[in-house]
Structure 1
Amino acid sequence: MKFSYKFSNLLGTIYRNGNLVFTPDGNSVISPVGNRITVYDLKNNKSRTLSLESRYNYTNLALSPDGSLLLAVNEQGEAQLISMMSCTVIHRHKFQTGIRCLSFSPNGQYFAVAIENLVLIFLSPGEITGEYNPFVLKRRFLGGFDDVTWLDWSSDSRLLAIGCRDSSTKICAVNFTRNFRTYNLSGHTDAIVACFFEANSLHLNTISRNGQLCLWECSLSPSDLEDAIKPEIAPTQSKKVKSEDSDNESEDDVEDVVEKQAPKDEGTAATEDQNELKDEAEKQRHPFFYKKLSRHYLADEPRKEQRDVQLTAANYNQRTKVLVVAFSTGAFYLYELPDVNMIHSLSISDYPISAALFNCTGDWVALASREIGQLLVWEWQSEQYIMKQQGHSSEMTCIAYSSDGQFIATGGEDSKVKLWNTQSSFCFVTFSEHTSGVTGIQFSRNKKFLVSSSLDGTVRAFDLNRYRNFRTFTSPNPAQFSCVAVDYSGELVVAGGQDVFDIFLWSVKTGKLLEIISGHEGPVVSLAFSPVATSSTLVSGSWDKTVKIWNCMESNSEHETLDAVSDVTNVTFSPNGEEVAVATLSGNITIFDIKSSSQVTTIEGRNDLSSGRLEADMITAKKNTQANYFSTIEYSADGECILAAGKSQNICIYHVREAILLKKFHITQNHSLDGLNDFINRKHMTEFGNMALVEEREELEGGKVALRLPGVRSGDMSSRRFQQEVRVFCVKFSPTGQAFAAAGTEGLCIYALDKGVVFDPFDLSLEVTPKAVHEALKRLEYTKALVMSLKLNEPNLIALVLERVPYRDIDLVCADLSPEFAQRLLQQLARQLQATPHIEFYLQWSCCLLTKHGNQDGVFQHTGLLALHEVLSRKYEMLNKICDFNKYTMKVLLDRADKLEQENGESNKTLNEDSDEEMLLIRVPENEASQSQFSDEEESDSGSD
């Protein structure tokens, strides 16, 4: 088995904290998910998480106008300059403190960084500036007396608006100018949330936290500004001193002029005249100034329903002149400026909206909520959701793969069950029927339904076709269920009790309780049915230090008991159903043979977890390791290895027969979580002890406490706030063996086999070369060329050989292959079917291969067949929709063609009739004329007679 698993994707975590960023085309939105970054492709309905990660959670993102550079800063002030082309970090920079906000200039030459009340402007690396050294400082501004909350650039990238928490807004010029330094705007009574320039204008809109919107009009246009504020040429030291003196002299001259023009003995009137003259002189000297046009109170509407409403996020689209404001009530409003007319209002939740953002066209608005991890994209014109995703609001406790590996089901402590598509990485259905935490979940073998157990005393079955809860299983007496399992046929469901120590057996068809299986003396924590179709063996593990083997078709009294020496935490069957692995509280994994009930081997893995030290721990990390254990284990698809994890950041893969550690994965390096460090930093150690043990309150007495209660793992449901502890709750292998999933504190991490350029030949010899393959193809020796390409194991070369084989010779080539090459060819066919447009051609290969070699036992592995089944199921679902759409489209076109043909036939018929009538009309006058002429001749003859 290969172990080149790499991080592939992150599911279950949609949004954590920070701002959102739209790509320049407006079709994708970039969201910070903890210490990783996820890109949601709204056009193709897919998402991908970048493989890079930071040491702490990201809080600020900024994307360059051309979309090539992404600047990401975490909560500790560590900045990463990321290339979106290669998705790699090209430079790192450490700021002294955390960053308040980031913003690239519209022309892409600069990016501004706000640190507390300072604003730093750097040159962007690239062809635009000609500067390839990152983080080259150009200018530095003092924003205000308090922290900077917002940065916005003018359309020409020459002015920068800085919103501050002290309710002031400062306008600064990026380049050094002679007549203009900064300009301050005041008039708000609360902290500035956002400020926006108008398109191709210097007019400004400012919004404060209490919902006040001020519209400002600038006295100059951008073209006039270029003449008014001339760039200052870098002078020598003497010239600089002289310019400063001249500025002082000009100020004195203005005061002298005012004093000369205004008499000193006219009292108050003279003072007013002096002020007017001074203002006129200032305007002549500084023609750049702002005038407040109006003030509007946007929070009056949400305050009708709830008091103490605060404006939490805002964004403005310069193209459509539409403003979106979001409030702490979960509602957002759309206004049209400059008239400030409300055009739309909607409430998305009861929690504050943390971020709001328009795309470039202004059609979509993205909204995110930090408290519930929700992200949605709303098209306000059609009033439809483009995307609406929300992860589990609390920890994800259990996961399960579908039989073909297409879907993943997750259950969390928030009492919800979610279904995720492994290809799009989106959640497509959420079941919220449970009223307490979900403890176990499993798919049926036929993928028609899934079952979940909960602490609310119910086991529920959900239909995967109609997406509804069609069965609810309960016990005669209320019991909390800690685990659930479904047999191979999908007819029986069992669940273990956490407080009654019994196992309950139900029928899926009737929903009736068939049997209560007793025998354990402690909570039943894990159940597993045999994966063999002809067996009904059930294995249960309990805290009473025993593992029991039951036969569900016989009496419940007949069972075998295996001594596990310590409390059992998890049990799982091997794929062939002959062995069972048991994880215990001692940190060991014990393998038992089912038929003989004997112990096969023991894996000692306590030291491999290497748990770190929590901030508030009184003991060292070495002592913590002695209490570690595996809480979840899973066999690989071929049954040779075991995947194990527990209260640690490590996921271990062990070889079953050799009982050795093969590989260890670290799921995260996010130090915003607790339990990653082995030692406490010296800066946190004082003469009074560990500073983490000192109780600090955020407010006055009675405020929020930063310490957790002793023994608390997942929160005490109070106002206490503390760092989450790194932990892996559940691990599962994909049925195809190509990936595995781990549900942890960070979310649902997917690790897949690395599909990069890897030279991994099979049974290679000296005469097997790519040149020899091409020569065999020229000689029309297709079987020889295919065998050599399979030995080289290069996908592109195998695809070339397969597509060179004539369609009529596929059956003959498949018959000539040996069983070992037939198995390898099946895996390559499953891989090629994922992206090839020649679906029918490769289906013919698959059909012929399975027909020729499928009747032989052991030729095709279970993983290869599952991989082919997964690809074909995905292709069927995709093409089924297209064919249905095309079927109705073609039906409409054919009906239209028939109607047009009928109309053309009727029109031709009428034309023919009209032409016949015209011919008759033409002939009638000729007959009449001849008749009249003949009658005249007769009259003339008669007259002559």
Structure 2
Amino acid sequence: MKFAYKFNNLLGTVYRKGDLLFTPDGNSVISTVGNRISIFDLKKVSCINICNGNFIVNRLCFHLSYFFYCSNKSTTLPVESRFNYNTIDLSPNGCTLIAVNEEGEAHMISLISQSIIHKYRFKRKVRAVKFSPDGKHFAVCKENNVFVFKAPGPFSGEYNAFIMERVFHGAYDETTCLDWSTDSKILAVGSKDMSTKLYPIDKWANFRIYSLGNHTDGIVGCFFEEDSYDMTTIGRNGQACIWECTIDPKDLVPLDKAPPKKKKKISSDSEEDDVDSSKSLERTEEEITAALNDMKVNGYEPDVKEVNKLFYKRVSKHYLADEVRKDNREAVMTAAAYNRTTKILVTGYSTGAFFIHELPEVNLIHSLSISEEKISSIALNSTGDWIALGCSGLGQLLVWEWQSETYIMKQQGHSSNMSCVSYSTDGQLLATGGEDGKVKLWNVHSGFCFVTFSEHSNAISAITFSGNKKFVVSASLDGTVRAYDVIRYRNFRTFTSTRPVQFSCVDIDSSGEFVAAGGQDIFEIYLWSVKTGRLLEILAGHEGPVSSLAFSPTITSTTLTSVSWDKTLRIWDAIEKGSAHETIELTADGICVVFKPNGQDVAVATLDGQISTFNIKTSLQISSIEGRNDLGSGRSDSDLITSKKTLQAKCFTSLCYSADGECLLAGGQSKNVCIYNVKESLLLRKFEITQNRSLDAVDDFINRRKLTEYGNIALVEEREETEGGNVTVKLPGVRKGDMASRIFKPEEEDHINGKETIIIVVLYVEIILFPALTMSMKLNEANLIQEVIENIPVRDIELIISNLGEQYIQRLLIIIASCLDSSKHLEYYLCWAQHILTIHGPKINAQKNIPSLLALEKSLVRKYEQISKICDYNKYTLQYVATLGEIFSKKPKEDKMELENDGGEEQENYESDNENIESIN
């Protein structure tokens, strides 16, 4: 169980596409990040926000290093979908989250246990999902249909998930948005057919399905007012219509309580029987009106509630996109959100601008442009003060406080793929470099990016931290190597070569005084001094691009190793001997080299999928690992060969030793990460990082249903309006950079290499401690059991005891009884005894466990007697000291005089004794 790792957090990306949500308390934002869901805690308002390396002071600013680390925190649910999530909603009590992915698979997630409690397949794309305000129902928009389900929980009294109650088929095109009235009786649904339909959840006498038109484009948002049926509808072209309802929520009359329709008495000439039309299940509005008129004729005056019918009147029409379309005529509204309490409407557009209006007068409060990419999603918190904005093109997530005009949170991942990543020595910071030329520093604990450096003008190829964690160094294809101060957040040093070079790798020596970088187009290694910035040495000898280099981790050694595409591993001592080096031939092109923590061995990954280890001093090969079959491979949509054939071209691109140097972590062009034992050359554990089918090359086979006579249907050209047409087919021979006007579907190897997101996994201590305890009890060694028990945290005692079998309880009671006598951790073992008796008390057989129970009782009684004696002694001692203090405080002068007198008598006796001694002498 040494490698019992579990998922911990997701870094590098804060938002991809889909919905944004605020929790009911308004302190956290829920965001969809690919096939995972992240929660950003904002309740600790940040004092310092940092964007592009500049300080933005909100309320109070202290110039302290890492002061902003504790401002916010992000966590990612340990839940993974087979495809990317695109729509989510949270129940009013904040306990249940419904998330639907691109393929229409809905997950009901408990935020208490952070696990999926039920799954449901809609088999089609779902556009929107929304809980009712009373928490009893939730509605789902799929194609031109609306499904209403009973929500499980105490509000509805149902605990079976996804119980369908109603289905509405009124729309003529795809439904796009929905909203509930505050009393949860009416559901408003907008669609692409430019109309908004109103559906009743129950049957009412004075209301049936109602349709609102007057729009010239698809509906983006429809919103009810607070405690009213008045509503606002907004179209994609920015047209907003304000609607007023003729009745109040209290005026709805249930169908079963509607006034009965009188029987029509036919003239005596007719022989037909009277017909009671009130028995019909469905009554039209004309029938209800005729029934009310008949009652008036017969002398019955109905109530006002019975007369009023639901009608809507358009009060006003506004064009919200006029200001945006002055600069860009093709601008369209892409997202909208409304807060009923404060009557604040926020609309976002494809140009990156958003507007804040106050309804129903539609007064413009504020306007701002956050980027040039479209705003994909907008959310408002419960108080209407914070606005969450998501831009899918940039992976940007903002939380804006519109009243004070300040950022509560501003996070953005790399606009392009991440190309490299590096941990700090203490594991608290993470540095990433991207193809967008930016370097970002992330706090591992909070999950937030706290500084961004954008000095590079081209893609970053390598990045590494210094040993003292004071600066980070990055190499780029723009021909520069830059050093950034982690404390002051500035680029304090720029290293260049004598001629333009595209640097492909970089490393810092253990003392932090020297930086080395290898060239991609010029096959040389350059060595600089960090203090002076001068170029010290140019190491020549490689005959191909330098793919990786590494300094020795020991302080006493200045050894530098490098691997290249020329199939060689070269060992340099550039600081002492200059260009003198030793060459070791490899079986294939060198991809990556890494030092063992002791600084004596190196591991090299080659293009043929092998990992070889060498001793630096003897230049002898120690072991060889054949890892190609462990990589695994998938088949992408554009591949013409099978995944088995593709596997022959796969290799490891990144290596890392464990702290003890016994194991090696390897990852590369695969969705798998492998852990090997170096000495035995054995695979110990293999992790599958992702199951996301939205990425390319995850599946080993192409579904035959997607194969047509023209090839894979995923490669069929798709064109979208206002986009100029998206083409799925890549340009010939292009692996990256061809994403301007084409659909970009990253491969799973990009995901594993950190190009999409950074996945952090941690060692799950609880999984390890439970088997360790049971195995030590099987070995029946008291000292070993005590050692294992005392290494278990207090918070995990209850969980471990609850999972223990009855066969271990008796033995554990005896061990705890003996430990109570010998150990000084009294309270710790009392916690063990309390949880054992609380959890397993009813199951304990008194006859079988009498010896263990008696031993525990004796130990407790013995400890009680010992502690009671100590307590009594301390009690009486404190009483004596207190009494003595009172006595001295009452008679200070008398005591002083007595002490002086006693001192005088002693002095006289001393002098007389001295005289007697002298006389004797």
TM-score band, normalised by shorter chain: 0.7 to 0.9
Of 788, 792, 797, which residue of structure 1 is paired with 2:786? 788
- Please state how far the C-alpha of 1:548 moved relative to its aligned partner: 0.4
Of 762, 765, 787, which residue of structure 2 is paired with 1:755? 765
Partner of 2:124: 97
Of 85, 97, 101, which residue of structure 2 is paired with 1:58? 85
CA contact (8 A) 1:790 1:798 kept: no
1:597-652 CA-partner distances (Å, limit 9, x unpaired)? 11111000001111111112111111011111111111111111111111110000
What amino acid does structure 2 have at the position aligned with 1:43? K
Is the alpha carbon distance of 1:230 and 1:508 closer, same or farther for their aligned partners in structure 2, counting shifts above 3 Å?
Answer: farther
Of 280, 289, 305, which residue of structure 2 is paired with 1:243? 280
- SS at the partner of 1:418? strand
Is the alpha carbon distance of 1:229 and 1:358 closer, same or farther for their aligned partners in structure 2, counting shifts above 3 Å?
Answer: farther
Distance 1:536 1:307 in 2: 62
- Please state how far the C-alpha of 1:131 moved relative to its aligned partner: 1.5
1:222-268 CA-partner distances (Å, limit 9, x unpaired)? 112347995899xxxx98994269759838969999xxxxxxxxxxx
Distance 1:668 1:402 in 2: 25
Asked if 1:561 corresponds to 2:583, the answer is yes
Distance 1:245 1:390 in 2: 54
CA contact (8 A) 1:180 1:286 kept: no
- Please state how far the C-alpha of 1:713 moved relative to its aligned partner: 2.1
Distance 1:318 1:201 in 2: 10
Asked if 1:71 corresponds to 2:106, the answer is no
Identity of aligned residues (%): 56
What amino acid does structure 2 have at the position aligned with 1:360? S
CA contact (8 A) 2:518 2:526 kept: yes
Asked if 1:111 corresponds to 2:154, the answer is no
Q: How does 1:737-886 map to 2 (within 5 A)?
A: 743-756=753-766, 758-759=769-770, 761=772, 788-789=786-787, 793-796=791-794
Is the alpha carbon distance of 1:411 and 1:231 closer, same or farther for their aligned partners in structure 2, counting shifts above 3 Å?
Answer: farther
What amino acid does structure 2 have at the position aligned with 1:378? W
Distance 2:715 2:328 in 1: 38
Distance 1:462 1:106 in 2: 50
CA contact (8 A) 2:524 2:541 kept: yes
- Please state how far the C-alpha of 1:305 moved relative to its aligned partner: 3.0
Comparing 786-795 and 71-80, the one that deviates more: 786-795
Is the alpha carbon distance of 1:239 and 1:563 closer, same or farther for their aligned partners in structure 2, counting shifts above 3 Å?
Answer: farther
Distance 1:96 1:646 in 2: 34
What amino acid does structure 2 have at the position aligned with 1:508? V
Of 317, 321, 326, which residue of structure 2 is paired with 1:304? 326
Of 104, 108, 114, which residue of structure 2 is paired with 1:87? 114
Asked if 1:704 corresponds to 2:726, the answer is yes
Distance 2:123 2:670 in 1: 31
What amino acid does structure 1 have at the position aligned with 2:685? K
What amino acid does structure 2 have at the position aligned with 1:795? P
Distance 2:277 2:700 in 1: 56
Distance 2:160 2:146 in 1: 20
Partner of 1:316: 338
Is the alpha carbon distance of 1:791 and 1:135 closer, same or farther for their aligned partners in structure 2, counting shifts above 3 Å?
Answer: closer
Comparing 327-336 and 243-252, the one that deviates more: 243-252
- Please state how far the C-alpha of 1:80 moved relative to its aligned partner: 0.6
Partner of 2:642: 620
Partner of 2:204: 177
Partner of 1:660: 682
Of 580, 601, 607, which residue of structure 2 is paired with 1:585? 607
1:688-729 CA-partner distances (Å, limit 9, x unpaired)? 444345555557998332111233222424412242111157
1:537-575 CA-partner distances (Å, limit 9, x unpaired)? 000111111010000223333100011121011000000
Partner of 2:905: none
- Please state how far the C-alpha of 1:205 moved relative to its aligned partner: 0.9
Comparing 664-673 and 124-133, the one that deviates more: 124-133
- SS at the partner of 2:575? coil
- Please state how far the C-alpha of 1:472 moved relative to its aligned partner: 0.6
- Please state how far the C-alpha of 1:392 moved relative to its aligned partner: 1.1
Is the alpha carbon distance of 1:239 and 1:747 closer, same or farther for their aligned partners in structure 2, counting shifts above 3 Å?
Answer: farther
- Please state how far the C-alpha of 1:768 moved relative to its aligned partner: 11
Distance 2:285 2:453 in 1: 73
Is the alpha carbon distance of 1:219 and 1:409 closer, same or farther for their aligned partners in structure 2, counting shifts above 3 Å?
Answer: same
Distance 2:745 2:796 in 1: 51
What amino acid does structure 1 have at the position aligned with 2:154? E
1:868-925 CA-partner distances (Å, limit 9, x unpaired)? xxxxxxxxxxxxxxxxxxxxxxxxxxxxxxxxxxxxxxxxxxxxxxxxxxxxxxxxxx
What amino acid does structure 2 have at the position aligned with 1:353? I
- Please state how far the C-alpha of 1:418 moved relative to its aligned partner: 0.5
CA contact (8 A) 2:643 2:700 kept: yes
Q: How does 1:462-481 map to 2 (within 5 A)?
A: 462-481=484-503
What amino acid does structure 1 have at the position aligned with 2:472? L
TM-score (norm 1): 0.75
Is the alpha carbon distance of 1:692 and 1:763 closer, same or farther for their aligned partners in structure 2, counting shifts above 3 Å?
Answer: closer
Partner of 1:521: 543
- Please state how far the C-alpha of 1:304 moved relative to its aligned partner: 3.0
- SS at the partner of 2:670? coil
CA contact (8 A) 1:763 1:791 kept: no
CA contact (8 A) 2:205 2:254 kept: no
CA contact (8 A) 2:508 2:516 kept: yes
Is the alpha carbon distance of 1:156 and 1:595 closer, same or farther for their aligned partners in structure 2, counting shifts above 3 Å?
Answer: same
Distance 1:33 1:241 in 2: 54
Distance 1:331 1:493 in 2: 44
- Please state how far the C-alpha of 1:163 moved relative to its aligned partner: 1.0
- SS at the partner of 1:626? helix
Distance 2:436 2:586 in 1: 33
Partner of 2:175: 148
Distance 2:619 2:489 in 1: 41
CA contact (8 A) 1:179 1:229 kept: no
CA contact (8 A) 2:35 2:85 kept: yes
Asked if 1:200 corresponds to 2:198, the answer is no
- SS at the partner of 1:554? helix
Asked if 1:214 corresponds to 2:241, the answer is yes
1:34-68 CA-partner distances (Å, limit 9, x unpaired)? 00010111114111101110000001101000011
What amino acid does structure 2 have at the position aligned with 1:724? P
Distance 2:778 2:701 in 1: 57
Give the aligned CA root-mean-square deviation in angstroms: 3.0
What amino acid does structure 2 have at the position aligned with 1:166? D
CA contact (8 A) 2:777 2:785 kept: no
Distance 2:194 2:795 in 1: 66
Listed as ranges, the gaps of 5+ residues in structure 1 are 258-281, 730-741, 773-783, 801-824, 829-945
Listed as ranges, the gaps of 5+ residues in structure 2 are 45-71, 261-274, 295-303, 799-822, 826-921
Is the alpha carbon distance of 1:245 and 1:77 closer, same or farther for their aligned partners in structure 2, counting shifts above 3 Å?
Answer: closer
Distance 1:67 1:245 in 2: 38
Q: How does 1:180-579 map to 2 (within 5 A)?
A: 180-226=207-253, 242-243=279-280, 247=284, 250=287, 287-579=309-601
1:474-532 CA-partner distances (Å, limit 9, x unpaired)? 11111100010000111101110000101111111111111111000100010100000
Is the alpha carbon distance of 1:696 and 1:314 closer, same or farther for their aligned partners in structure 2, counting shifts above 3 Å?
Answer: closer
Distance 1:603 1:25 in 2: 53
Distance 1:328 1:563 in 2: 56
- Please state how far the C-alpha of 1:686 moved relative to its aligned partner: 3.3
- SS at the partner of 1:788? helix
Comparing 131-140 and 55-64, the one that deviates more: 131-140
| Higher RCO (CA < 8 A, seq sep 6+) | 2
What amino acid does structure 2 have at the position aligned with 1:93? Y
Distance 2:409 2:716 in 1: 44
Is the alpha carbon distance of 1:797 and 1:200 closer, same or farther for their aligned partners in structure 2, counting shifts above 3 Å?
Answer: closer
What amino acid does structure 1 have at the position aligned with 2:335? A
Of 126, 137, 142, which residue of structure 1 is paired with 2:164? 137
Distance 1:552 1:70 in 2: 58
- SS at the partner of 2:89? strand
- SS at the partner of 1:713? coil
